[in-house]
Amino acid sequence: DIQMTQSPSSLSASVGDRVTITCRASQSISTYLNWYQQKPGKAPKLLIYAASSLQSGVPSRFRGSGSGTDFTLTISSLQREDFATYHCQQSYSSPGTFGQGTKVEIK
Amino acid sequence: QLQLQESGPGLVKPSETLSLTCTVSGGSISSATYYWGWIRQPPGKGLEWIGSIFYSGKTFYNPSLKSRVTISVDTSKNQFSLRLSSVTAADTAVYYCARRLEYLSARFDPWGQGTLVTVSS
């Protein structure tokens, strides 16, 4: 199975901050990488697919980039509603695997 | 818009079989564009894909669970179901159903709200 490693596991940030989360795959996955946002007690919500495509309805402050083994999710100006856990997921090979999640907390 | 809703027992005894159903509303499960999947999340842990099914009944499963998992579809009821046999405490998790789109990068959207299943005697 392809292992997905996110860093950091958690971070503290303030409203308006630029936030960057990294996801690294154990082997090359081209751009078969998706990002999800999960709020406490809620289901994950798709933010980004194919590494950099913004899902319909998702604010443009979310940006995904990367290819191969290294990927980044950037929130350009953190809003209060963005405090959540973020998960990456590879779909290059089965089984599709997820990262362990990155929790974004209020500083 | 499309909505998914999980249903089933919240408590299952060890060694027994976990059974959940996902009801799809606002769209047809018989679409040729999508698969339908199950994903779980143990308390405080990450997400794990369990398996997926096409409306025709074609399935594919996570090899780590394949020997214990069966996913089926009932197009007349717009539902698909999960059965996980011989459960242990390690199967305690929130179970989600979701639609899976294969185009470009296979992804899950939308998701059901999830249902907590606890394995305990």
- Average pLDDT of adjacent 10-residue blocks, chain A of 107 residues: 98 97 98 97 98 98 98 97 97 95 95
Q: CA angle, B118 as apex, B117 and B120 as ends, to 5°?
A: 150
For B15, B81, B86, B108, the CA distances from B32, given in Å and listed in that order, are 36, 18, 33, 16
Choose the closest CB to A49 out of B64, B104, B112: B104
Tokens of A1: 């199975």
pLDDT in tens, B69-95: 999 999 999 999 999 999 999 999 999
Which pLDDT score, from 0 to 100, does residue A107 have?
87
B 57-116 residues with CB below 8 A of A?
60, 62-64, 96, 98, 104-114
pLDDT in tens, B55-71: 999 999 999 999 999 99
Confidence of residue B113 (pLDDT cuts 50, 70, 90): very high
Round to whole Å and give the CA distance between B114 and A61: 28
**Chain B residues inside the 8 Å CB shell of A54:** none
Any idea which residue has 């179901």 for tokens? B81
Contact B105 A32 (CB under 8 A): yes
